[in-house]
Structure 1
Amino acid sequence: MNTAEQPTVSTGSDAPDEQSPEPVVVMVLGPAPDRATGKVSVALGVVNLVAGGFLIVMFVSLAQGGSTAPWGPINDALAAAGNILLTLVLPRISRNAARSRLARGFVRTTAVASLVSAVSGLLLVVRVLPFEPSTAISMVAIVLQCAWMLWLSRTWARDPRVPAAIWRFGLTTGLALLAGMVLVGASLLLPFGSTAANLLLIPGVACGGVAWLVWPLWYILLGRHLRRTDAAR
């Protein structure tokens, strides 16, 4: 029997008592302790952090009149590697939370989108796929990954075994990313460069950009938790 997917029943006391409390059922929704998955999750976070660093360097280079090379291609290659690692981690850490057919389908869809984004990023690096379609594929994957993190964090919040720091970080980061994307998207509906557009674009880029840059820390926190709980068993 897979006990990780079974509800835990706590009666509060083993002594007979006429006023004994009703049994409390706690559903196991968080990820099962797994050292290997924890290591991959930490690696995913580190790779994405480094990728974000190269993206910042690329924008600095552009601001100074330079080009995207070599920083852009390095970022694309690292982002592809991160998506491959995410494809490995995502189904494992979502297994207990995905209890309905719809949830399981959503997890599979996000994993497939992440893998497709990884392939498109590599094709962009070797100049087989143009920038525009590759970016569109990446944006779809990011939106799905953001929605997945929000759903997973909300679900984990109902499991006391999952540290609050993990699911709160996931909720905060996911909501900030979502808010940033909404603001940036709304600014595109207005004349470019107008005051109204900038009032939406600037805070949207700032909010979403910061959230995107710190997002990898969530995977590192999660990976450390999985390794620590596995070692404690």
Structure 2
Amino acid sequence: MVAGRAARERRSALGSTLLVFDAIDFAIATALSVIAIVVQAFWLVLANRLLCRVDGYPRGLGAFAIVGGVALLAGMALVGIGLVLQPGVETPLWFLGVAVGLFGWVSMPVWFLLVAVSLRGGFVPGSNLEP
């Protein structure tokens, strides 16, 4: 899982560098960034659904990550729906989408910090599984 995340981060850094040097258009860079965020949100949900099956993994930590990933996806969906609605109607959806999505966006680094604290406390996922 860590190798996949590192590869996504390298691609994201490459996309940002290409944008700075005008090698790609802003619309393309934005689309790539949105796709990367969606993939990360799905990864957060899937990884924690699988980790919740491991004995000793903190259930609250898994639930927090799943809610955060779903919130990020829901917030992006609400903002997207707001983009296609008539002017004047989209504002409440924008505010709700940004609020929900912001929680999801902030929850990802918080989850990594909480996982680090959990690992420091001695929990190693899969260490108690038999071959």
- The reply to whether TM is greater than 0.5 is yes
Report whether the alignment pairs 1:213 with 2:106: yes
The match for 2:118 among 220, 225, 231 is: 225
Separation in 1, partners of 2:25, 2:6: 23
Q: Secondary structure at the match of 2:84?
A: coil
Deviation at 1:111, TM superposition (A): 5.8
Deviation at 1:144, TM superposition (A): 0.4
Query: What residue in structure 2 maps to residue 96 of structure 1?
Result: none
Q: Deviations over 1:157-203 (max 9, x none)?
A: 11222112321111110111111011111112212x322x2232210
Separation in 2, partners of 1:116, 1:157: 29
The match for 1:168 among 63, 70, 84 is: 63
Structure 2: unaligned runs, 5 residues or longer: none
> Are residues 127 and 151 of structure 1, via their aligned partners in 2, closer, same or farther at CA, if it must alter by over 3 Å?
same
Deviation at 1:205, TM superposition (A): 1.1
Query: What residue in structure 1 maps to residue 74 of structure 2?
Result: 179
Aligned partners of 1:117 and 1:134 also within 8 Å: no
Q: Deviations over 1:134-165 (max 9, x none)?
A: 12111111100100100111111112221123
> Are residues 129 and 200 of structure 1, via their aligned partners in 2, closer, same or farther at CA, if it must alter by over 3 Å?
same
Q: Deviations over 1:101-121 (max 9, x none)?
A: xxxxxxx5x664443222101
Output the amino acid matched with 1:172: V
Larger helix proportion of the pair: 2
Separation in 1, partners of 2:123, 2:108: 24
Aligned partners of 2:57 and 2:123 also within 8 Å: no
Query: What residue in structure 2 maps to residue 90 of structure 1?
Result: 2
Q: Deviations over 1:81-130 (max 9, x none)?
A: xxxxxxxx624xxxxxxxxxxxxxxxx5x664443222101222344433
Aligned partners of 1:149 and 1:170 also within 8 Å: yes
Aligned partners of 1:181 and 1:204 also within 8 Å: yes
Separation in 1, partners of 2:57, 2:9: 25
Aligned partners of 2:61 and 2:111 also within 8 Å: yes
Separation in 2, partners of 1:133, 1:178: 20
Structure 1: unaligned runs, 5 residues or longer: 1-88, 92-107
Aligned partners of 1:153 and 1:170 also within 8 Å: yes
Separation in 2, partners of 1:211, 1:230: 25
Separation in 1, partners of 2:69, 2:78: 14
Q: Secondary structure at the match of 1:205?
A: helix
Query: What residue in structure 2 maps to residue 51 of structure 1?
Result: none
Percent identity of the aligned residues? 34
Aligned length, in residue pairs: 125
The normalised TM-score by structure 2 is 0.79
